[in-house]
């Protein structure tokens, strides 16, 4: 998951555009498009697959035991992933709305992972390394939206 975040930044820095990105985007527009295409699109779809089809091994990697709630995480991940792919080519209004949803989901997930680290000493890679993504994607999205002037009248 953190790799998709890094790749999105690298592709934006290389000035590559997403498959349906704008013709001549600013850096922040291009970077936002990549953020929604890769870590918010492709990665959430992959996460949906991991939490449903590969639920047992995914739970084990996180340091948990699989249960029905895990599949619900998978279902919401698929929805967020499809929304991310669609939003990657839509522009500011879609980016702001999806950033709010993604930020709530990922930052509260990060809080839960941190709680598990402190309370249960759960240092499984799926419970610790994921924090880079859970915190890094919302920070990246908000920083890019602000730098893009998305909130100026």
pLDDT in tens, 2-14: 899 999 999 999 9
Inside any domain, residue 22: no
Inside any domain, residue 45: yes
Residues spanned by the domain of 115: 2-10+27-147
pLDDT tens track for 59-102: 887 777 888 788 888 999 999 999 999 999 898 999 999 999 99
Inside any domain, residue 130: yes
Domain count of the chain? Answer: 1
Inside any domain, residue 99: yes
User: For residues 101 and 57, which has the higher predicted lDDT (pLDDT)?
Assistant: 101
Secondary structure, 3-state, the chain: CHHHHHHHHHHHHCCCCCCCCCCCCCHHHHHHHHHHHHHHHHHHHHHHHHHHCCHHHHHHHHCCCCCHHHHHHHHHHHHHHHHHHHHCCCCHHHHHHHHHHHHHHHHHHHHHHHHHHHHHCCCCHHHHCHHHHHHHHHHHHHHHHHHCCCCCC
Inside any domain, residue 114: yes
């Amino acid at each position: 998951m953190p790799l998709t975040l890094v790749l999105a930044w690298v592709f934006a820095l290389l000035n590559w555009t997403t498959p349906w990105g704008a013709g001549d985007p600013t850096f922040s527009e291009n970077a936002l498009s990549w953020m929604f295409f890769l870590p918010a699109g492709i990665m959430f779809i992959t996460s949906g697959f991991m939490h449903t089809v590969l639920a047992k091994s995914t739970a084990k990697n996180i340091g948990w035991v699989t249960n029905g709630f895990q599949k619900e995480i998978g279902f919401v991940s698929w929805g967020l992933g499809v929304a991310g792919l669609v939003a990657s080519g839509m522009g500011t209004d879609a980016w702001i709305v999806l950033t709010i949803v993604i930020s709530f989901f990922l930052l509260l997930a990060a809080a839960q992972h941190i709680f598990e680290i402190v309370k249960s000493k759960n240092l499984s890679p799926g419970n610790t390394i994921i924090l880079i993504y859970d915190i890094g994607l919302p920070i990246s999205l908000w920083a890019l939206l602000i730098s893009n002037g998305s909130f100026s009248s």
